[in-house]
């Protein structure tokens, strides 16, 4: 790597970190250095959307790890979220454990459920396995539903306030500074796992299972490990989600919840972890941006703008669904793949003007 | 009537399979295509019959001409309508359909009145098929399945017949009898035939001319006699069959 | 009462069988596991709403409208989405059908609003008594029509030349090409049939309940039906559908309405673990 591109990389990285640190201030004060910014200029985003995006990133990263890396197709991700939420309800709302302990217990139970969910992969592969995750989704959500009605009521499962010893998470900014490091941690952790010996074995397993098995690596064990790790992260995300919203019902975890993660990783690009981040960001932030554009028209906005406002979430789904379809047909590597191609071109141009 | 002009073909995952291949099959003629395993014989058949896309293959350059018309990018079913028929490698019978239904699939293109007549012609050629006409083709022996595949190809009285590895997995006596029938058909219908065979001796008995393919290139061509007697052919044939280690000296 | 529950289970199961049949036809022809089948059922219900309530067509004409609209939709989906993806991994195709279902769901919500609509068909909604049995006329008609459609399709498949070509294509794709079958056309036909069968199911389910996006999860019950019955098997799909209907009604009556579907999914997992090729399927190696 040449000196100039190294300089650029470090520069961008530092800039990125500064932006990330300043972001909550920007979004809560809604001004830069005293200059007040309009809603539109901030893309109609609030810290709440960013926080929900961060939680979704955890889900997308874990699913990406499982599907894109380990080659295991799973439609059951909502089930792991639900598991985490349920464990959080039991340990947090019912038994009053401290927040960090709740998260750890969610991870532990999530890993266990993940191993169970992965067991069918020892017996069946491919399509049959996808179907088993599909069935498992319904079963887990049913369990959550029963739990909700038995111990609480139809309004939902309530959650206490989250706090880490004396640091109470009662503002979006505080949540941001807890969620952001978690996302970064998980990202780096997964990235390191993938470059470890086991990680590379897993990638090999995805591409050439027979070769991996014959080279002495226990493929089944690797698969279950991948499942355990992925679902542990998703369960923690579920617990965070539950605590953040302070109230969830079983309806939150329908099959569409599971499907949206799949959409996220396809849009971002299945083979790359950063793609998962891109996909999650787009999925969570686009609705607000669209509403922003729609309401920009004001009350005298035309019919089109009215339709935008009324149907913003559906429109987002149409856009995303179509985007996924287009990407699947024309660019299976997703936006991250396209991004990499652009980057390679850019670097090439930079080095050879 | 069939010509390939400088045909080059590659597969998505396996690379170049045919390199600048030009051959022709005259109307009514029987041409053998010889070569060791992996030389590209089946690839050529696929390229000519429009089956390349199914196997992730692509024609990089060159043309396929049938009766002077450029048919390089025609779809398989259009080629069948144009008079091309194939007995594919591995037979590819419809395992769950009865023998009769197998034949009827191709016969679907015929006007109703002709169907029975053509069926009877095939049964006359291969009486075993009549015996087994209601049995599922998947249960038949290899030789009988070969008859089904051949019968299927002949129903439309093709002008060009492509035969890919007829002898594979079959007992010599059965193979000989099938080739005998093939000769009869050739004479009656006047069909041109392109016969792909690993068993060179057998093919050269039936063909009037032959081409030898070695790793995607035509290395020899001529009358059957010339090919059978050529030392160069014997060497390139046996030479490319030698194990890798011996070659890398 | 048991006979009552069994009857409604079989009636609903016939509808599920019909939808499952449509699913299997598509799967056998193009090897696509169509997660959008649930939405095709919903589309059927909304085609009905459009024809009957919005366009005010007489019932007979409405039926024609539904069939034509569904067939067109099926053909469009195959031509635009499935054909370009042929040869790609199964994961991609499954994702595609899932994404398609997301788009369809959203478009329906934008066009018709989030509330469901009642279907105003002239189908009988009364009940007639057979001894102590209260037989819903709608259930009976739905079952009869479903069986009629299934029989019609079966005859088509088995006795017509095109049916033979479709069977051949499903049996061996390459051999069909070699025999001069226009495989793309056969596939498009399969998708048209799959969509039409789903739409008919949607018509009845929409009348029984409400024409809304919620019908999707009912339509998706065709998936476990097909797996339990055997994915490549046509009788398997129908029997799977009947089984699913029975289990659903039995669980709803004797355990709890909320638990009605859970046993289906438990059975699905059991089948996947013990006998993945289903009750009537054939063990195939390296299929997926």
Dig out the tokens for A93 from the structure: 């709302």
Query: CB contact, 8 Å: B93 with chain C?
Result: yes
CB B7 within 8 A of CB B18: yes
Contact status, residue B93 vs residue B147, Cβ threshold 8 Å: no
Q: Is the pLDDT of residue A208 over 50?
A: yes
Q: Which domain holds residue C96?
A: 17-215
Candidate from A333-347, B59-73, C139-153, C176-190 with smallest mean pLDDT = A333-347
Nearest CA in chain C to A316: C106
**pLDDT of amino acid B245:** 41
Measured between beta carbons, which residues in chain A are less than 8 angstroms from residue C105?
317
As a whole number of angstroms, the distance between CA A88 and CA C177 comes to 57
Question: Quick check: B92 and C175 CB within 8 A?
Answer: yes
Task: Look at residue C124 and tell me whether its pLDDT is greater than 80.
Answer: no
pLDDT score recorded for residue C75:
94
Q: What is the dihedral of CA C77, C81, C84, C87, to 10 degrees?
A: -100
CB contact under 8 A, A124 and C272: yes
CA distance C133 to A211: 62
Listed in sequence order, the residues at least 6 apart from A143 whose beta carbon sits closer than 8 Å to its beta carbon are A86
Closest CA to A259 of A134, A85, A107, A117: A134
Bridge partners (DSSP) of residue B98 are B136
pLDDT higher at C15 or B220: C15
Cβ(A58)–Cβ(A186) under 8 Å? yes
CA dist C113 and C46 (Å) reads: 12
Taking CB atoms and an 8 Å cutoff, what residues of chain B touch C174? 51, 54, 88, 92
Residue C203 has pLDDT above 60, yes or no: yes
- For chain A, say whether C270 makes contact (Cβ under 8 Å): no
pLDDT computed for residue B138 by the predictor: 87
CA atoms within 13 A on the CB side of B125: 27
Give the Cα separation of C178 and B88 in Å (integer).
8
C194 has a pLDDT exceeding 90: yes
Contact between residue C119 and residue C48 where contact means Cβ atoms under 8 Å apart:
yes
* Binding partners of C (≥3 Cβ pairs within 8 A): A, B
Residue A215 has pLDDT above 80, yes or no: no
Cross-chain residue pair C99–A328, CB shorter than 8 Å: yes
Percent of chain A with pLDDT over 90: 10
Query: Which of these ranges, A51-60, C4-13, C126-135, has the smallest mean pLDDT?
Result: C126-135
Tokens standing for residue A282:
């787009």
Assess whether pLDDT exceeds 90 at residue C140: no
B240 contacts B215 by C-beta, under 8 angstroms: yes
Which residue from C minimizes the CA distance to A68? Answer: C91
CA C256, CA C252: separation in Å to the nearest integer?
Answer: 5
CB contact under 8 Å between C179 and B80, yes or no, is: yes
pLDDT (0 to 100) of residue B238 = 54
Q: How far apart are CA B74 and CA B68, in angstroms?
A: 14
| Closest chain C residue to A323, measured at CA | C99
- Number of structural domains found in chain C: 1
Contact B51 C174 (CB under 8 A): yes
- Chains B and A are touching, with contact defined as 3 or more CB–CB pairs separated by less than 8 Å: no
Are B95 and C167 in contact (CB < 8 Å)? Answer: no
In this structure, is residue C254 part of a structural domain?
A: no
Q: How many residues are given for chain A?
A: 353
What pLDDT is attached to residue B21?
87
Phi/psi of residue B214, each to 5°? -135, 115
Mean pLDDT of A173-190: 87
Q: How far is it, in rounded angstroms, from Cα C262 to Cα C181?
A: 43
Contact C288 A263 (CB under 8 A): no
The SS3 call for residue C220 is coil
Does C245 map to a domain? no
The DSSP string of A75-136 is S-HHHHHHHHHHHHIIIIIIT---HHHHHHHHHHHHHHHHHHHHTHHHH--HHHHHHHHHHH
State which H helix or E strand residue A66 sits in: none
Q: Chain A contacts of C261, Cβ < 8 Å?
A: 138
Best CA proximity match to C51, nearest among C121, C110, C115, C111? C121
What CA–CA distance (Å, rounded) separates B83 from A242? 68
Task: Report CB contact under 8 Å: C183, B77.
Answer: yes
- pLDDT above 60: residue A325: yes
What is the average per-residue pLDDT within A179-202? 82
Report for A97-101, A170-174, C27-31, C175-179: range of highest mean pLDDT: C175-179
Domain A38-351 falls in which CATH fold? ABC transporter involved in vitamin B12 uptake, BtuC (1.10.3470)
Tell me the average pLDDT across A260-288: 82
Question: Does residue C250 lie within any of the structural domains?
Answer: no
B76 and C87 within 8 Å at the Cβ level: the answer is no
Q: Tokens for C41?
A: 């059922």
Close Cβ partners of A334 (under 8 Å, ≥ 6 residues apart): A265, A266, A267, A268, A269, A270, A271, A272, A275, A279, A327
Give contacts of B77 with chain C, Cβ < 8 Å.
177, 180-183
pLDDT of residue C288: 34
Residue A77 tokens, joined: 């991700």
Which of A257-266, B217-226, C36-45 is predicted most confidently?
A: C36-45
CA–CA min distance C159, chain B (Å): 11
A35: helix, coil or strand? strand
pLDDT at A218 over 50: yes
The answer to whether residue A297 scores a pLDDT higher than 60 is: no
SS3 C127: strand
Query: What percentage of chain C reaches a pLDDT higher than 90?
Result: 30
- The dihedral sign for the CA sequence B181, B186, B191, B195: positive
Percentage of residues of chain C with pLDDT beyond 70: 98
Q: Distance of CA B62 to CAs A101, B38, B47, B59, B105, Å?
A: 69, 21, 11, 7, 32
Interface test with A, best of C95, C259, C262 (most A CBs within 10 A): C95
CATH number for the domain whose boundaries are B2-90+159-231:
3.40.50.300
Give the tokens for residue C242. Answer: 């009947």
Q: Is residue A250's pLDDT more than 80?
A: yes
- What does DSSP assign to residue A156? B
Q: What six digits make up the tokens of A71? A: 């080659």
Do the bridges between strand A247-248 and strand B192-197 make them parallel or antiparallel, or are there none, so unpaired? Answer: unpaired
Helix axes of A172-195 and A273-296: crossing angle, nearest 10 degrees? 150
Statement: residue C56 has pLDDT above 90: no
pLDDT for res C283: 66
pLDDT for residue C42 = 93
Torsion of CA A146, A149, A152, A153, to 10 degrees: 150
Nearest CA of chain A to the CA of C134: how many Å?
A: 31
- Per-residue confidence band for A334, with pLDDT thresholds at 50, 70 and 90: low
Closest to A283 measured CA to CA, from C220, C35, C102, C113: C102
Tokens standing for residue B202? 């057998």
Classified as helix, coil or strand, C130 is: strand
User: Do the beta carbons of residue A59 and residue A81 sit within 8 Å?
Assistant: yes
- Closest Cα partner for B94 from C156, C287, C176, C24? C176
Q: Is the pLDDT of residue A321 over 50?
A: yes
Secondary structure of chain B in HEC code, one letter for each residue: CEEEEEEEEEECCCEEEEEEEEEEECCCCEEEEEECCCCCHHHHHHHHHCCCHHHCEEEEEEEEEECCEECCCCCHHHHHHCCEEEECCCCCCCCCCEHHHHHHHHHCCCCHHHHHHHHHHHHHHCHHHHHCCCCEHHHCCHHHHHHHHHHHHHCCCCCEEEEECCCCCCCHHHHHHHHHHHHHHHHHHCCEEEEEECCHHHHHHHCCEEEEEECCEEEEEEEHHHHHHCHHHHHHHHHHHCCHHHHCC
pLDDT digits (tens, 9 = 90+) for C240-256: 999 999 999 888 888 87
Mean per-residue pLDDT over chain A, rounded = 79
Mean pLDDT of C253-282: 83
| Kind and range of the H or E run holding A232 | helix A219-245
- Of C171, C174, C177, which has the smallest distance from its Cβ to B95's Cβ? C171
Report if residue C186 sits inside a domain: yes
Q: Would you call C164 and B77 a contact, using CB atoms and an 8 Å cutoff?
A: no
Q: Which residue in the set C171, C177, C183 is minimally distant from B96, CB to CB?
A: C171
One digit per residue, the tens of pLDDT, for chain B of length 249 reads 888 888 888 887 778 888 888 888 888 888 998 888 788 888 999 999 988 888 888 888 888 888 888 888 888 989 999 889 999 988 889 988 999 999 999 988 888 888 888 888 888 888 888 888 888 888 888 888 888 999 999 898 898 999 998 888 788 888 888 888 888 888 888 888 999 988 788 888 888 888 888 888 888 888 878 877 777 666 655 544 444 444 443
Over residues C120-130, the mean pLDDT reads 77
Residue of C102, C110, C288 lying closest to A125 (CB–CB): C288
Confidence (pLDDT) at A111: 92
Strand partners, C211: C117
B/C touch flag: 3 or more CB pairs below 8 Å: yes
**Domain map (residue ranges) of chain B:** 2-90+159-231
Taking alpha carbons only, the member of A315, A283, A297 closest to residue A63 is: A283
């Amino acid at each position: 790597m040449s000196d100039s591109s190294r300089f650029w990389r470090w520069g961008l990285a530092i800039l990125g970190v500064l932006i990330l640190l300043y972001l909550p201030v920007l979004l809560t004060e809604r001004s830069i250095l005293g200059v007040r910014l309009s809603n539109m200029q901030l893309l109609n985003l609030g810290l709440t959307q960013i926080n929900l995006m961060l939680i979704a990133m955890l889900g997308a990263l874990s699913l990406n790890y499982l599907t894109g890396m380990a080659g295991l197709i799973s439609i059951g991700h909502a089930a792991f979220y639900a598991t985490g939420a349920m464990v959080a309800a039991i340990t947090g709302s019912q038994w009053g454990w401290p927040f960090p302990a709740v998260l750890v217990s969610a991870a532990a139970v999530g890993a266990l459920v993940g191993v169970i969910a992965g067991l069918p992969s020892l017996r069946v592969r491919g399509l049959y396995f996808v179907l088993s995750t599909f069935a498992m989704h319904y079963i887990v959500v049913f369990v959550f539903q029963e739990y909700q009605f038995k111990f609480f009521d139809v309004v939902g499962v309530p959650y206490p306030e989250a706090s880490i010893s004396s640091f109470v998470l009662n503002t979006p900014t505080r949540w941001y500074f807890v969620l952001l490091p978690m996302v970064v941690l998980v990202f780096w952790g997964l990235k390191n796992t993938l470059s470890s010996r086991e990680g590379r074995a897993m990638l090999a397993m995805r591409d050439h299972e027979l070769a991996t098995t014959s080279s002495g690596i226990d493929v089944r064990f690797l698969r279950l490990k991948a499942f355990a790790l992925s679902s542990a992260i998703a369960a923690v995300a579920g617990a965070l989600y539950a605590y953040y919203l302070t109230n969830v019902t079983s309806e939150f975890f329908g099959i569409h919840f599971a499907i949206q993660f799949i959409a996220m990783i396809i849009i971002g690009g299945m083979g790359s972890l950063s793609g998962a981040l891109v996909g999650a960001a787009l999925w969570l932030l686009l609705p607000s941006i669209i509403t922003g554009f729609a309401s920009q028209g004001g009350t005298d906005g035309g019919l089109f703008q009215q339709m935008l406002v009324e149907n913003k979430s559906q429109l987002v789904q149409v856009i995303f669904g179509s985007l996924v379809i287009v990407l699947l047909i024309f660019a299976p590597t997703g936006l991250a793949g396209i991004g990499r191609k652009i980057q390679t071109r850019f670097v090439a141009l930079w080095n050879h003007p | 009537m069939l010509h390939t002009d400088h045909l080059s073909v590659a597969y998505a995952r396996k690379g170049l399979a045919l390199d600048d291949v030009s051959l022709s099959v005259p109307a009514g003629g029987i041409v053998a295509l010889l070569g060791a395993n992996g030389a590209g014989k089946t690839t050529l058949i696929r390229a000519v019959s429009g089956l390349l896309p199914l196997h992730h293959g692509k024609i990089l350059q060159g043309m396929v001409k049938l009766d002077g018309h450029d048919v390089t990018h025609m779809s398989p079913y259009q080629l069948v309508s144009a008079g091309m028929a194939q007995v594919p490698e591995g037979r590819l019978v419809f395992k769950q359909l009865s023998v009769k239904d197998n034949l009827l699939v191709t016969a679907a293109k015929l006007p109703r009145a002709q169907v029975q007549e053509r069926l009877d012609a095939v049964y006359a050629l291969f009486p075993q098929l009549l015996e087994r006409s209601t049995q599922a083709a998947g249960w038949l022996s290899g030789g009988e399945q070969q008859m089904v595949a051949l019968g299927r190809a002949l129903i439309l009285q093709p002008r060009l017949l492509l035969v890919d590895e007829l002898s594979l997995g079959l007992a010599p006596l059965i193979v000989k009898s099938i080739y005998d029938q093939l000769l009869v058909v050739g004479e009656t219908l006047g069909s041109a035939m392109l016969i792909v065979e690993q068993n060179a001796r057998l093919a050269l008995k039936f063909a009037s001319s032959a081409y030898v393919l070695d790793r995607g290139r035509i290395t020899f061509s001529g009358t059957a006699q010339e090919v059978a007697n050529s030392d160069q052919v014997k060497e390139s044939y046996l030479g490319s069959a030698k194990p890798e280690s011996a070659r890398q000296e | 009462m048991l006979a009552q529950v069994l009857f409604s289970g079989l009636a609903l199961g016939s509808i599920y069988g019909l939808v499952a049949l449509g699913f299997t036809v598509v799967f056998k022809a193009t090897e696509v596991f169509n997660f959008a089948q649930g939405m095709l059922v919903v589309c059927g219900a909304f085609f009905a709403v459009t024809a009957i309530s919005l366009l005010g067509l007489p019932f007979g004409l409405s039926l024609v409208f539904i069939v034509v609209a569904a067939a067109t939709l099926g053909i469009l989906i195959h031509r635009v989405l499935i054909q370009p993806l042929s040869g790609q991994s199964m994961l991609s195709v499954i994702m595609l059908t899932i994404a398609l279902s997301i788009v369809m769901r959203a478009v329906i919500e934008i066009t018709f609003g989030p509330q469901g609509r009642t279907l105003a068909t002239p189908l009988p909604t009364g009940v007639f008594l057979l001894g102590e049995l209260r037989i819903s006329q709608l259930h009976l008609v739905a079952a009869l029509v479903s069986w009629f459609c299934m029989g019609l399709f079966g005859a088509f498949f088995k006795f017509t030349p095109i049916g033979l070509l479709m069977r051949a294509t499903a049996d061996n794709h390459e051999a069909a090409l070699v025999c001069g079958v226009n495989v793309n056309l056969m596939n498009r036909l399969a998708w048209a049939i799959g969509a039409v069968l789903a739409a008919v199911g949607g018509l009845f389910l929409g009348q029984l309940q409400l024409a809304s996006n919620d019908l999707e999860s009912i339509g998706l019950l065709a998936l476990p039906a097909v797996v339990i019955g055997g994915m490549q098997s046509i009788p398997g799909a129908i029997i799977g559908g009947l089984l699913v209907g029975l289990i659903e009604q039995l669980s709803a009556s004797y355990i709890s309405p909320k638990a009605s579907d859970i046993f289906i999914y438990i059975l699905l997992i059991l089948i996947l673990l013990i006998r993945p090729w289903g009750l009537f399927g054939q063990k195939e190696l390296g299929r997926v």
